[in-house]
Amino acid sequence: MASFTEEKFNLPRNLRGRNIHLNVIPTVSNLKNLINKLIVVDGDVSKLKQWEKRSYAAYQISKIKREVMNAPTKDSRTNLVKQHILYQDPNELGASCIDIYLVAYVAETVKPGKQAFVDYVVNHGITDKPNSAQAIWQVGKGDGNYLGVLNEDGSVRDWDFFRKWVNGLNMGKSKVYNKLVRDRIPEIIHQSGKSFNTIKLQQEEFIKELKNKAFEELNEYTNSAGNQEAGEELADLLEVMHSLAEVHGYTFDQIEKIRQRKAEEKGGFRERIFLIDVEG
């Protein structure tokens, strides 16, 4: 389970120039359902319901749609969305997203819980309709809980996320990879002084990503120029094959024996034979 920094700080009422009391009444739609629906319709936004489109626009998911759809796990999707939020200008984000901050603000500066939130919203003139106040709570608390940044009572779970949201990220936009990498890559990135996010894949996801990696390395070999580059890409492909053999319960020596048996039965490819057709 991810660990979060517990060092609290005072949440400002103004989020980097965005008045958190204005334009915060959402259409009741949640981020989790939106993302799941987006995957089901293969990214075709026209197939989303109107309230789903509102959530899609509020989070500006269009900027990361393909990355979100290709993310292998729920954790990788939510991490991607959180980083995306941090890089956006709060003034350009819609109600659903800002509602997360408003729920946190009330919970930490007044009192956590739904009733305290509804009372705050009505008393501060955000809306005089209790149903609208409850909608803000439902969306803000629900989306914040889905992203792992809020607790069930609306209080802050991930203070590090809110600190970055309040202060803004001054660095350039991170490059999203969402792919399997070699074991020492995080160490190498760390030594370069850059920050990064990783997750550990479960077995089924690992096998899926190994297969994707095999296609990636094969494609790089296919596009290689010259023998030296071809050798490098073949070595990468062989490394993936070693891992695939292991996850399927084989040692590579066993795979080699299977290769030798098939070579004895059917031959190899040394003769460069290209079959054109077979009669009848």
Alpha carbon of 79 to those of 40, 74, 198: distances in Å? 20, 9, 9
- CA atoms lying within 13 Å on the CB side of residue 77: 19
- Contact predicate 131/34, CB 8 Å: no
Instruction: Tell me if 120 sits within 8 A of 108, measured CB to CB.
Output: no
Helices (H), the chain: 31-40, 50-58, 65-70, 74-87, 95-109, 114-123, 130-147, 159-167, 185-191, 203-222, 227-247, 252-266
Q: Please, are residues 90 and 105 in contact by the beta-carbon 8 Å criterion?
A: no
Q: Kindly give, in sequence order, each residue whose CB lies less than 8 Å from that of residue 75, ignoring residues fewer than 6 positions away.
A: 2, 199
Dihedral, CA of residue 243, residue 244, residue 249 and residue 255, to nearest 10: -100
Q: What is the pLDDT of residues 263-273, one digit of tens each?
A: 999 999 999 99
Site of tokens 């501060």: 124
Residue numbers of the chain with a pLDDT score lower than 50: 1-5, 171-172
Residue 1, pLDDT score = 39
Q: Which phi and psi angles does 14 have, rounded to 5°?
A: -105, 120
| Cβ atoms within 10 Å of 118's Cβ, excluding its own | 19
Question: What is the pLDDT at residue 3?
Answer: 44
SS3 94: coil
**138, 24 Cβ separation under 8 angstroms:** no
**What is the model's pLDDT at position 68?**
87
Domain ranges of the chain: 14-167, 203-266
The pLDDT score that the predictor gives to residue 116 is: 96
Q: What is the pLDDT of residue 249?
A: 96
Residue positions counted in the chain:
280
CA distances from 205 to 34, 71, 183, 185 (A): 22, 10, 16, 19
Cβ(103)–Cβ(154) below 8 Å: yes
Instruction: Report the distance separating Cα 130 and Cα 109, nearest Å.
Output: 21
Amino acid symbol at 267: G
DSSP label of 126: S
**What is the structure's pLDDT at 2?**
43
Closest listed residue to residue 205, CA positions, set 76, 33, 78:
76
Distance CA 99, CA 136 (A): 6
Token match 């010259």: residue? 226
CB 78 within 8 A of CB 55: no
pLDDT at residue number 174 = 64
Cα distance between residue 184 and residue 75, in whole Å? 21
Express each pLDDT in 152-167 by its tens digit. Answer: 999 999 999 999 999 8
Environment class of 218 (CB within 10 Å of its CB; exposed 0-12, middle 13-18, buried 19+): middle
pTM over 0.85: no
